[in-house]
Structure 1
């Protein structure tokens, strides 16, 4: 093309030394045709190389083969052009007016071929490097798939063997398994990064996706096992607390039901608490047994035997507790009735005391004496009316104190008796004094 532009249309007219004019024309025409064909071929190659700049992601082996073939063609073309350049240099006289143009044209073509050869070789090197990276990626992917499969087999086998072991040991094994998978997880993340960078073809991406799915499935299996074990641990913790509470109740029950000893309390409320404990023993046995049924699948033989022994002891204590429970209910009922009657008698004493004059008569007269005597007779009659009930309350209290040791109850009964006696004596003495005065008054 360069030559054509320089020479313009029409065949060149070169006079070669030692040759005819016709031979010169034929030589120039051959030169023109060769240069044109070479330039056109170079244009086509450059178009494909420099316009389609992005490396193809698929079929890298084919791309490399094409690039190597092109590099070979360029090399052959360069050798041919160099050879022809020498031939044309020999054919044209050194002082010919077209020699410089021909040499420049051939030099330009050789320069383009050299530049194109450099670009193609560089492109070929890049493709080979990328192909090697793809092969490394595929190899690492296969290694990771194999490694994950091995890990999965080992982990599942280990977890299966640990099924009969204590829960704490199983959780430790799961933690070790999860720690062992962290390296695989990092490897999968790295493969994804490389796949994005290399624009890996679809089949390899599908394999990578399958690897991720297999990893996630294994993690879910381990996580499900951990969740189940955590639930078992929570159940076992509840069971152990219930078992300890039951043991404490049994100890208390043995103390309270041993022999016919008195029940030592400080108030009626403590009797209610003891009764609640007796009732709670049976319900706590049911709770403990229910929790044990939930953990029996992973309980060790020693725990099972301890549970069986404790429940047998609880059943024995429960039999005695039923008898004591009936006794406690009777005591509680008696005490409640006693408190009610004690309150009524105390209230009656308050009425008597509030009705008793606080000062004696200022001006004694027969009418005043009669009124005052009538008042005291009424008070005495009221006390006499409630006196049998007082004796009954005191007797009931004494019988209650045979079964219960309660200093406060004993003190209340004593105070009630003393209080009643003091008020009765006070009313009787004052009535006797007033009646004596009235007798002297009427003489």
Structure 2
């Protein structure tokens, strides 16, 4: 028997994706296999001798031709089937028809091969030289046909699912077109009916319309996702784009109507927020102004900080008054009398608080300025008293010459004269300090003034005694 071709004996598949397209023509293969089935295989006997051997060779040749034909057909099918190609939606139905026909052909081919295998088992001698090879080859071919049958059936199942998804997509697209048209008619009719109604009622109608369109919007979005996944044909995508344009046009109509209605309501809402903020600022401002008039601080810098915060807060209050008044003028045409009265009263109260705040700010500026001058004068006097203190001799005279006594006397007279010269300025500084302490409470400042006053009393006494 001729050697079996490698493609028949060593069967295998590449792991490739399924592709569309009908199987090759089977007519010639089927005719040949059926011919094999119809051949009356004689059962050889021992008495036939050489004639039986010739019959076996003839039978092997026929089987070889059948196996070669089947293997060639399988090679052709696999080559076409396992090529990865993109399947367009419009090709799915045709491809499904071809794949189902191919599955039928594979089934018939398997049945014919099985018949030939059975005939071979019945007629071929048990001790034939090529019996094992032929049995293995026929078994491999049947296994190959079985595997191919499984793959094609899976392919058919996938195509049926895809075809159903395409049909569902097209049906859902039609449903959304109908739903959008119905919603558009209902919404425009409802907006026309409430055109003469109050603004709030018109806004409510628009909000209801927008809420009703959310489901439609979600449906369009989902359909787009499905269309991208299915890689739908251009015609369906154009229809989907048309649906989106119709939806966007309706939303623009609703949005334009809503924008006009919302303008006054937005201004009023903005004014009401500003009015509430002004009322809160005014309440806090009253609390700030109602505090103790005498300020307790620890330093001049603290007064400066208080003045800065005071200006910052009440300048903010004044700016918010201006903003609130500006917004009120924009909504005054549709404001009710009660709102106008409340606005007028609140503005009057804010003006009164600002007037008091301005007065308090002037007082704080005066306190800061007075304290600054007082610090300068106090420091100058302290330096002068320090000079006097350092000029007083630390050791008294016991026995000195007349010249030394005269010199010492002259020194004390000069120091006394200097103290007398500083005296008016000293009293002025102490008086300014006392007046400042009426408005503020500061222990450090009070201690500094007391120290200055004590020094001015002690030094004259020392000089008088020494003199």
Instruction: Give the TM-score normalised by structure 2.
Output: 0.48
Q: Any gaps of 5 or more consecutive residues in structure 2? A: 3-41, 43-53, 86-94, 177-202, 204-221, 233-273, 325-342
Partner of 2:388: 352
Larger Rg: 1
Q: Which moved more, 1:77-86 or 1:327-336?
A: 77-86
Query: Is the CA contact 1:268–1:335 (under 8 Å) kept in the aligned structure 2?
Result: yes
1:253 aligns with 2:288: yes
Kindly state the Cα deviation for residue 392 of structure 1 after the two structures are TM-superposed.
1.3
Q: 2:231 aligns with which of 201, 206, 229?
A: 206
Partner of 2:71: 46
Matches within 5 A, 1:384-399: 384-399=420-435
Query: Is the CA contact 1:70–1:120 (under 8 Å) kept in the aligned structure 2?
Result: yes
Identify if the C-alpha distance between structure 1 residues 334 and 106 changes in structure 2 by more than 3 Å, giving closer, same or farther: closer
1:274 aligns with 2:299: no
**Count of aligned pairs between the two proteins:** 296
Inter-partner Cα distance in structure 1 for 2:426 and 2:129? 147
**Cα offsets for 1:20-61 (capped at 9, x unmatched):** xxxxxxxx99x97x9977754541321232576564356465
Identify if the C-alpha distance between structure 1 residues 321 and 415 changes in structure 2 by more than 3 Å, giving closer, same or farther: same
Query: Is the CA contact 1:267–1:408 (under 8 Å) kept in the aligned structure 2?
Result: yes
1:409 aligns with 2:441: no
Identify if the C-alpha distance between structure 1 residues 263 and 119 changes in structure 2 by more than 3 Å, giving closer, same or farther: closer
Inter-partner Cα distance in structure 1 for 2:434 and 2:286? 30
Matches within 5 A, 1:188-337: 206=231, 250=285, 253-256=288-291, 261-282=293-314, 284-285=316-317, 317-337=353-373
Inter-partner Cα distance in structure 2 for 1:107 and 1:417? 134
Kindly state the Cα deviation for residue 279 of structure 1 after the two structures are TM-superposed.
1.8
1:338 aligns with 2:374: yes
Query: Is the CA contact 1:380–1:427 (under 8 Å) kept in the aligned structure 2?
Result: yes
Inter-partner Cα distance in structure 1 for 2:380 and 2:169? 91
Kindly state the Cα deviation for residue 358 of structure 1 after the two structures are TM-superposed.
1.2
Inter-partner Cα distance in structure 1 for 2:412 and 2:321? 68
Q: Any gaps of 5 or more consecutive residues in structure 1? A: 3-15, 17-27, 90-98, 151-163, 165-183, 192-201, 208-238, 293-307, 432-443
Query: Is the CA contact 1:71–1:117 (under 8 Å) kept in the aligned structure 2?
Result: no
Query: Is the CA contact 1:249–1:281 (under 8 Å) kept in the aligned structure 2?
Result: no
Kindly state the Cα deviation for residue 396 of structure 1 after the two structures are TM-superposed.
1.5
**Cα offsets for 1:266-313 (capped at 9, x unmatched):** 332221121111122146558989999xxxxxxxxxxxxxxx999997
**Cα offsets for 1:386-437 (capped at 9, x unmatched):** 1111111122122222322334323332332222022112212332xxxxxx
Query: Is the CA contact 2:377–2:429 (under 8 Å) kept in the aligned structure 1?
Result: yes
Query: Is the CA contact 2:286–2:353 (under 8 Å) kept in the aligned structure 1?
Result: no
Query: Is the CA contact 2:388–2:415 (under 8 Å) kept in the aligned structure 1?
Result: yes
Partner of 2:148: 123
